[in-house]
Chains A and B, each alone.
Chain A
Amino acid sequence: DAGVIQSPRHEVTEMGQEVTLRCKPISGHNSLFWYRQTMMRGLELLIYFNNNVPIDDSGMPEDRFSAKMPNASFSTLKIQPSEPRDSAVYFCATSWINEAFFGQGTRLTVV
């Protein structure tokens, strides 16, 4: 298995544009998490899914953020409209029972 795959690896966009981040989990993992990492706030849990169902989205900062998991092999995190303060590294992680495996992350820069 290639591990958790995120795309794109880097994204530079202008303020106000829509941004979509993608994640392909490890096959068989039934939990999927989206995290945001910044120097100031560390690793923040945005939302997590169990068996494709959103369980806890209390970490989603505001209505501009939305996440979907239409099937067991794909998830998206969308920001619309994007703002400079959304600049961060976004990690997707997946898990089955125990260890969470992280993707390589998407570095988002909003200018």
Chain B
Amino acid sequence: GENVEQHPSTLSVQEGDSAVIKCTYSDSASNYFPWYKQELGKRPQLIIDIRSNVGEKKDQRIAVTLNKTAKHFSLHITETQPEDSAVYFCAASANSGGGADGLTFGKGTHLIIQP
């Protein structure tokens, strides 16, 4: 089955600086890579996703890159703000269309934005 490794487990950055979270996956059949943000006591929510047919995707201050050859993908947050503080999870699945296969999640990164 799929195995997703995520690093670092905790990341502390100064407000306004950039944050980068990295993930690797094991199953070459995986083709869908979402990122979820979980605030304290709340449910995980999708913030951005990428498919294997593209190498990069941006949405305002958030970007995700994918290297299929190396089987790794990363989340980049620029100009960090206090509201970015949360736990971020990467995930991977072999999305076959007509219904997602089960997502395998990384262990999460606790992002702390220092004022």
Q: Which of B32, B44, B95, B99 contacts A51 (CB 8 A)?
A: B99
Known contacts A55-B102, A100-B46, A102-B44: A42-B34 contact under CB 8 Å: no
The dominant DSSP class at the B interface is loop
Q: Which of A33, A45, A105 contacts B43 (CB 8 A)?
A: A105
Q: Which B residues touch A41, using CB under 8 A?
A: 107
On whether the beta carbons of B103 and A45 are closer than 8 Å, the reply is yes
Q: Which of B95, B102, B106 contacts A33 (CB 8 A)?
A: B102
On whether the beta carbons of A45 and B104 are closer than 8 Å, the reply is yes
**Within residues 70 to 111 of chain A, which ones have a CB less than 8 A from any CB in chain B?**
91, 95-105
Q: Which B residues touch A96, using CB under 8 A?
A: 99
**Is residue A12 contacting chain B, with contact meaning CB distance below 8 A?**
no
On whether the beta carbons of B99 and A103 are closer than 8 Å, the reply is no
On whether the beta carbons of B95 and A91 are closer than 8 Å, the reply is no
**Is residue A56 contacting chain B, with contact meaning CB distance below 8 A?**
yes
Residues of B within 8 A of A (CB): 1, 32, 34, 42-46, 49, 89, 95, 97-108
Considering the complex of A and B, which 4 residue pairs feature the smallest CB-CB distances, nearest first?
A42-B107, A102-B43, A43-B105, A48-B102
